[in-house]
Amino acid sequence: MFLRWQQWNRRARFVLWIIALLGVAAALPLGAVRMEMEKSSKQVEYVFDYRDIVEVSERQARPQAFLQEKLAMLKESGITTMAVYESSLKELQLSGRLTFYSSRDAALLQGKFEQVGQNFTYILFSGPEEEEMIGPIVREALDRSEAVYSDWSYGGRNGMVVEIPIAEAIMKTMDFDPMSLRAIHDAGLGILPRYSDRVKPYDQDATDAMLARLKSYGVNRVLFDGDKVKGASDQAMDNSLYQFGELLKKYELGLAAIENLKKPQEGLNKLAYITNYNVVRLYSLSENDGMTMTPEAIADRFLLAAKDRNIRMFFLNGTTQSNTDKAKIVHSLDRLAEAMNEKNGIVERLSEAGFNPGTPEAFDYEQPSWNKPVRAIVAAGAIALIALLIGAFLPGIYIPVFIIGLFGSAGLYKLNSSLMEQGLALGAAIAAPTLALVWVMNRIYSRTVGDRRVVGGANWSIGRSKQGQTPQQPGAVYESASRMKWLFPTLSTGRRFGLALNWFIVATLISLTAVPIVFGLLNNITYNLVLEQFRGVSLLHLAPIALVAVYVLLYNSQMSVGRVKWLISKPITLTWIIVAGVVGIVGYYYLSRTGNGGQVSSLELVIRHFLESTFGVRPRFKEFLLAHPLLLLGLFLSLRYRAAWLLIIIGSIGQLSMVDTFAHLHTPLYISMIRVLLGLGTGMIIGCILILAWQLVEGAIRKWAPAIIRKFVA
């Protein structure tokens, strides 16, 4: 019965590989659909923060003249749109629409004594036009908060007295400044309104009227200010998100999603769904970066964002600084205008790359009718890869693991389809590179220490001894740790190089089987727009390394479960602590280098810029400079030196990194393909150079080193 089960298990392993390859093949058409979608939106829009221009203008001798001058300058530079915020008393005062005073200041203004026991807010409009256009939005905001106010005038200007302190009055959120909207529109610039969720309760009629006015100015997209979208706070009671989303659809208004927020804006995903994912990703250049970065560096950053991260809107912020050396106030508006329109600047660089200025459109993400059944095949392929991985470490359980995986995934799909797809994608992403290096190590074991490794305890040893003979009794251990061979019989250099290159290529192909599985399972517009993210990236960066390390160190003919128990029972020494500390530091540094927030040195930034400008796409450092070369060198040396097996563990970084590249689902698929191929090509070249250097050094040692060293490398 046991032998029959082993036969079924061996056949099951073959069938699982067939299922995995079928999943890979089924995912390829989904990749083609995604690539077509990524071509459907190429125009980009340049947006400037209008509030920043107003604040900079306020610090000039002639604010209004400065404002008009800089608006014209920014338009000439290539800025097409101004972002406007909902108003407040403070902002309206900065814009010159009104002036507000405390009770004490109002009394001084009128040459009177301050009225005892009163702390009101006094407002004066700047003129009749301001009273006519700004007065209604101020009164509407005060009425919402049920503030008491009355008419007041002074010096021929009309206003009001509001019976609340200034500290509270300036917190009231008002509608968009109609005079600013008109001025921006008359200047020939577009408008990007930034709604907040500070106007409560949500008012459908007032929002409808405001969106109608915005649409009359040519608005086609809205952006949100703060950590919530408009209507998010009242969603539970009034279903306000759905109401607001329906208004956006009514006026054909899309959304802008800000990249790299610490926390996603609450309610944005629901609004995106209601508006049929009429969403464009936006990158915001910070005030500090706008002041300090060179125009060339800003252009490089924008080009990378458009090309690698599907960014289609660029938001620029201006600011001022006090320059004590020049004894004057300096601002960043001129620098940013220069970065936009200088030769080889932002507009020119992006236009040359195919991203012309215009009105960005949402991606055309319509899925074909065959999408769901094909993704079911892809899911089966992912389950097969995961079963193969588990079976590599626990032989004999391929069939039950695959069956459990099928039923478990089906049940999870009913509960949360997104979680099921992400779980299978993560499992496949871990499994494929691990299986690749398990296959490699089995090839190495077969040519050094025997056909198979010990997979059980003292009563379960399978394979051949170091002489190639089958053990005569259960429990035979091939060779003890004290007699572990560190050198293996020499093969010719050409033979070793041929095997190493062949194994490297096959391992890479096995690792890449996870790629179609990942982008096939996560073939959804929400991932491309980063409304939903692939979870488990840190686990993907660690699990294959750990599993490969376990396989290299424990799953060979010199180690068994009994040996593991012996190692665990040994007392912890200072050496163990030092080794653990070094591994921890290396692991922390490695993780700090992964993900969007990874830290890089200034030297690496220079090299990145060189690679980007030379190849158009930057291969990953850890692939072509570290992991791929060391894996190829390790494969070459592993047939001669046992210590070189540790290089296989390091080389697993490159294999998993290739899969992780495609897990960046907001990056166009063709960019990820080029990045991986460049990394492989350059990594193999560097690996060959390392092999040549090793051979030269080894030959020199044999020729000139003392006899004891020659004996070691003989």
The answer to whether 391 and 398 have CB atoms below 8 angstroms apart is yes
Cα–Cα dist 262/714, whole Å = 58
Instruction: Count CB atoms within 10 A of the CB of residue 416.
Output: 11
pLDDT for 536 equals 84
Q: Structure tokens of 212? A: 């109608």
3-state class (DSSP) for residue 230: coil
What DSSP assignment string belongs to 569-626?
HSPP-HHHHHHHHHHHHHHHHHHHTSSTT----HHHHHHHHHHHHHHSSPPPHIIIII
Residue 454: half-sphere exposure toward Cβ, Cα within 13 Å:
28
Of 151, 150, 148, nearest to 165 (Cα)? 148
End-to-end CA distance of the chain: 49
Report the pLDDT value the prediction gives residue 708, as an integer from 0 to 100: 56
Measured CA to CA, the distance from residue 618 to residue 675 in angstroms comes to 6
pLDDT in tens, 554-611: 776 444 455 566 666 767 666 667 766 766 666 655 555 565 444 455 556 566 666 6
The structure tokens 């073959």 sit at 14
Length of the chain: 714
Over its C-alpha atoms, the chain yields an Rg (Å, rounded) of 33
User: Does the bond joining 201 to the residue before it have cis omega, within 30 degrees of 0?
Assistant: yes
- Dist. CA 67–CA 70, nearest whole Å: 5
SS3 of 459-485: the string is CCCCCCCCCCCCCCCCCCCCCCHHHCC
Contact 649, 549 (CB under 8 A): yes
Under-50 pLDDT residues of the chain: 452-482, 557-560, 596-599
CA distance 507 to 515: 14
Q: Considering the entire predicted model, what is its pTM?
A: 0.85
In the chain, % helix, strand, coil (3-state, to 5) comes to 60, 10, 30
Q: Distances in Å between the alpha carbon of 42 and those of 37, 306, 310, 556? A: 11, 9, 9, 53
In a 3-state reduction of DSSP, which class is residue 118? coil
Cα separation, 428 vs 577, in Å, equals 34
For position 605, what pLDDT does the model report? 59
Whether residue 13 contacts residue 391, with contact meaning beta carbons closer than 8 Å, is answered with yes
